[in-house]
Amino acid sequence: MIRKIFRQMLAAQILSAMTVMLCMLVDSIMIGRFLGVDSMSAYGLSNPVLLVFAAYGTMLSAGIQVMCGKTMGAGDREGTDACFSASAVMALSVALTGMVLVLLFLTPLATLLGAGKPGADPVFNLTKDYLKGFIIGAPAFITAQIMVPFMQISGNRLRLVLAVVLMTLSDVAFDLLNVFVFHGGTFGMGLASSLSYYLALAVALPYFFSKKCMFRLRLKAVTRRLCGEILKYGVPTVINALAMVVLVFTLNKVLLAVGGKGAVASYSVISTVGNICYSFSSGAGSVALMLAAIFYSDEDRTAIHSLVRTMSIYAVVMDIVVIIAVLPLAPALVGLFLEDLSAKDLAVRGLRLFSFSLLPCSLNSTFKNYYQGIGRVRLTELISVLQNMAFPVLAALILSSFLGTDGVWLCFLFGESLTLAVICFIVWRKNGRVSASAEDFALLPESFGVAAADTLEMTVKSQAEAADASVRAADFCTAHGESARNSMLISLCVEEMVNNIVEHGFREGKTYQSVDIRILFKGDDKVIRIRDNCVSFDPVEYLKLHETDDPAAHIGIRMVMKMVKKANYVNSLGLNNLTLTL
């Protein structure tokens, strides 16, 4: 079940990450090809403003995934609603404030960005124009970023995919209309991006206003402490972005010294293509972050081990495929940006050398996000600094002195490899042995969750298996000293609830459907946790909505609810999660 949910989420997350990069790629190609060098300069000068808004949105998104993972894992609906409400307030307030400030102070902002002086340089007005067009879409841009985790949590992956695909296609269409029909210049290019964000929002928003929406806007639940928690868990993402800024600045300086402007131009192309390649590792990392937060809060050691194993395999396989694709396609990819033969040859060689860094990068990024999800924030920050600044900068400075530009291209491979070595060293030192097992790399504290001896885990895919699970549950309870009566009650709970899922939730011909059962002895409590990937169904709410005097109606669910002290249901990631405490 973990592999399936990871795979389902991964496709949507990669597409979402890649779409943003593709939009930026399309914008840069269209501006460079049709609007000229001055417009391209204006676009480049505007990028810091774009990156500030993007960094804020990414920070919120990461914080949301950790916080909502905790509340969803604990079955805390009110906490999830509070997180949803706080993120909406934080996104819109900053986006609207930022939009107003940029529009009011366009002239000094363009000067600060290095666009020259008013009237003296044509790039100045072009920079203002692009900022004006883009900033109109800031509210949609940031809101769309925070909607991604909420749509993943609610299982609305198809709607998410439709939104990001529409954003990409509409951005291309609006860019073409601006260039060939409306002749709107750089303002039109910025406005085209804004309109594409609003269209994506138009696809996503209806769910959040529908009765099916699992999130509720509760403004009274928004507190300063909650907002601070969301930002705190998003800080590693900002550190990651700042480290990359330092890296880009340093490499530009080194390349200018050893290869001149042609090398800097080549690096720009490699960065653009590289960002698209990074979509695969960043997509896997985002999924790992969300699932890690949920399973960690649920104290599900088995699910976490399965997650670490699954995310590692997918990260490695995906990036091997990407490397194999980039090596022969490098000339064609570079040709989209450069026409000068010498610069093109340099960029092709650089892109090929850079591509080998993708394999260790995918593992570093995935583990970095996983550790962020389980609350190891300092380790996440350390990996960010080593991966995106310290090691590649050090490698570039050393290798470029005797390999020239090749040394700079190889700095990515050396930087990522050294970072992975540090992660392995930390894991091996903590566990006291050299191992590549998922259990060791999970870095879970010894006190995490319930001891294996006090846990029974089973997977059911048929009614016959449900009957067997009931017998095993009774035997497990008896072995733990429970009375025959209590063992029978727990066995009945398992049998009734699982049979109900198999009978009414399973769809004929669907082989991927299953029910995961965990029985835990936690102190004086006996806890039954049932997770399935069938049709959404809340038995607790169902009984409230279907109260009747007929003693035979819904007898199975009613019997179970009378036996338990507490029943909690939550639907997350498209999975039903029911926790029964006896």
DSSP structure string for 317-373? HHHHHHHHHHHHHHHHHHHTT---HHHHHHHHHHHHHHHTTHHHHHHHHHHHHHHHH
Listed in sequence order, the residues at least 6 apart from 566 whose beta carbon sits closer than 8 Å to its beta carbon are 579, 580, 581
CA distance 68 to 482: 36
Instruction: Give the pLDDT band of residue 309 (cuts 50, 70, 90).
Output: very high
Q: How confident is the model at residue 22 (pLDDT cuts 50, 70, 90)?
A: confident
User: H/E element holding 130?
Assistant: helix 122-135
pLDDT score recorded for residue 151: 85
H/E stretch holding 214: none
Domain locations in the chain as residue ranges: 1-222, 239-449, 452-581
User: How much is the average pLDDT of 245-269?
Assistant: 79
Q: Kindly state the DSSP code that residue 31 receives in the 8-state scheme.
A: I
Of 136-150, 319-333, 408-422, 533-547, the poorest mean pLDDT is in: 533-547
* Cβ atoms of 430 and 283 closer than 8 Å: no
Residue with tokens 């396609």: 329
pLDDT computed for residue 353 by the predictor? 93
Query: Is CATH 3.30.565.10 correct for 452-581?
Result: yes
The pLDDT value recorded for residue 450 is 76
How high does pLDDT run on average in the chain?
84
pLDDT computed for residue 511 by the predictor: 62
| Residue 547 reports pLDDT greater than 80 | no
| Residue 414 pLDDT exceeds 90 | yes
What value does the mean pLDDT take over residues 25-41? 76
**Radius of gyration, alpha carbons of the chain:** 26
The per-residue pLDDT for 321 is 93
Q: What whole-number percentage of the chain has pLDDT above 70?
A: 94
In sequence order, which residues have a C-beta less than 8 Å from that of residue 4 and are 6 or more positions away? 512, 533
Three-class SS state of 241: helix
Mind listing the pLDDT tens digit for each residue in 340-383? 666 778 888 999 999 999 999 999 999 999 998 888 888 998 99
Highest mean pLDDT among 61-75, 193-207, 474-488: 193-207
Give the integer Cα–Cα distance in Å for 569 and 573.
13
* Residues in Cβ contact with 288 at an 8 Å cutoff, skipping those fewer than 6 apart: 307, 311, 366, 367, 369, 370, 373
Greater confidence (248 vs 169) lies with 169
pLDDT of residue 342: 67
Between 427 and 13, name the one with better pLDDT: 427
Q: Could you read off the pLDDT of 437-454 as tens digits, one per residue?
A: 888 999 988 778 777 788
Dihedral sign (CA 358, 363, 368, 372): positive
Residue 90 has pLDDT above 80, yes or no: yes
